[in-house]
């Protein structure tokens, strides 16, 4: 889908899908925006990365694994929202890891910042338009599985979207993906197997589990952490779910990993601060980066 729908094709597509005038405006807007953004980026960095990476809170140091060829601040990219959260520098990084072209988001967009679900997921669509086939996502998350400890790495095997707005609500743009995407395997099993084997050879213990997506920005109450556990979550966080939905819609192969930065279900005094979350992510980042780097090598 490089470059998305070719220029001049939109009226043709509208005829094809029997769109109304209103739908035409919506569809031409999103496709046109995606094309404009893609064109802008391609003018600066003409290559097609095969792998897209989203670096979560405190995980930006992964960038040192990257032979950076170009950096583009989000603020300079047409139609990109601008990230405002501490710990999120906010730029697209282009370069190579083990000879593979990658694009990495240093900083992501969160619903709690005030962006709508479509804006949160916009960069994922752009990465697809730039040519990626694989999407590697990282995040900081609170542990609710009693076996988890701060600093653990958890492979996300599945997720639960809890009151997070689905970014596909609204008229479906068939050019991007189907109306009713299958979500039985959002996280690719073969990538999970590869990551487990890699962590094993590195002697890094790994957890696996279900990521429970919430909007934030409050951390959870004690009662909420307990509820999340009862509802089937192993970790809870404020990102990822909307990005993964958009990625699955466009048939990207997704792999995602959480750093457990706090434990929500401890009985003792248990306040959680953003600072503590960032620090725990920074401490765990070298292990996460090593696994991501090796995984990229094998893709």
Strands (E), the chain: 51-55, 67-73, 91-97, 100-106, 134-143, 153-161, 207-213, 235-237, 253-263
- The H-or-E segment that residue 239 falls in is none
Q: Give the C-alpha separation, 182 to 140, whole Å.
A: 26
Tokens read off for 88 = 């999120």
Establish if 285 lies at the interface with ligand HPA (CB under 6 A): no
Cβ of residue 233: shortest distance to ligand HPA, in angstroms?
A: 10
CA-nearest of 53, 106, 38 to 299 is 53
Cβ of residue 224: shortest distance to ligand HPA, in angstroms?
A: 9
Establish if 81 lies at the interface with ligand HPA (CB under 6 A): no
Considering only CA atoms, give the Rg of the chain: 19
Tell me the helices (H) and strands (E) count for the chain, helix number first: 7, 9
Segment 140 to 159, residues that bind ligand HPA, using CB under 6 A: 140-142
Q: Applying CB under 6 A, which of residues 130, 210, 238, 254 lies at the interface with ligand HPA?
A: 238
Closer to ligand HPA by CB, 45 or 212: give it.
212
Establish if 262 lies at the interface with ligand HPA (CB under 6 A): yes
Establish if 227 lies at the interface with ligand HPA (CB under 6 A): no
Whole-number Cα distances in Å, 187 to 34, 136, 217, 235: 25, 10, 25, 16
Q: Applying CB under 6 A, which of residues 37, 83, 138, 261 lies at the interface with ligand HPA?
A: 261
Residue nearest to ligand HPA (CB): 142
Establish if 272 lies at the interface with ligand HPA (CB under 6 A): yes
Establish if 220 lies at the interface with ligand HPA (CB under 6 A): yes
CA-nearest of 160, 169, 108, 164 to 135 is 108
Closer to ligand HPA by CB, 5 or 282: give it.
282
CA-nearest of 48, 94, 30 to 67 is 94
Which stretch, 59-67, 138-146, 171-179, 198-206, contacts ligand HPA (CB under 6 A)? Answer: 138-146
Establish if 233 lies at the interface with ligand HPA (CB under 6 A): no
Contact set with ligand HPA (CB under 6 A): 140-142, 216, 219-220, 236-238, 261-262, 264, 272, 277
């Amino acid at each position: 889908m490089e470059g998305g729908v070719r220029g001049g094709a939109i009226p043709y597509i509208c005829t094809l899908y029997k769109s109304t005038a209103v739908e035409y405006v919506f569809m031409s807007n999103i496709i046109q925006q995606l094309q404009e953004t893609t064109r802008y980026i391609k003018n600066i960095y003409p290559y097609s990365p095969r792998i897209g990476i989203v670096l979560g809170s405190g995980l930006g140091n992964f960038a040192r694994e990257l032979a950076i060829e170009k950096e583009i601040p989000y603020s300079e990219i047409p139609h990109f929202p601008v990230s405002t959260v501490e710990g999120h520098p906010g730029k697209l990084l282009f370069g190579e890891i083990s000879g593979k072209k990658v694009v990495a988001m240093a900083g992501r967009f969160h619903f709690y910042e005030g962006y709508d679900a479509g804006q949160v997921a916009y960069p994922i669509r752009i990465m697809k338009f730039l040519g990626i086939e694989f999407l590697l996502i990282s995040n900081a998350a609170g542990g609710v599985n009693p076996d988890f400890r701060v600093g653990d790495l958890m492979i996300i095997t599945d997720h639960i979207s809890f009151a997070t707005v689905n970014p596909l609500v609204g008229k479906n743009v068939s050019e991007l993906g189907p109306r009713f995407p299958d979500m039985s395997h959002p996280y690719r099993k073969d990538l999970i197997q590869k990551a487990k084997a890699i962590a094993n050879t590195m002697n890094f213990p790994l957890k696996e589990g279900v990521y429970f997506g919430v909007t934030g920005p409050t951390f959870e109450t004690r009662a909420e952490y307990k509820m999340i556990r009862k509802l089937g979550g192993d970790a809870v966080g404020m990102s990822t779910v909307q990005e993964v939905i958009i990625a699955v819609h466009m048939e990207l192969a997704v792999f995602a990993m959480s750093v457990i930065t706090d434990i929500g279900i401890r009985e003792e005094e248990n306040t959680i601060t953003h600072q503590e979350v960032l620090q725990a992510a920074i401490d765990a980042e070298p292990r996460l980066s090593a696994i991501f780097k090796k995984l990229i090598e094998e893709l």
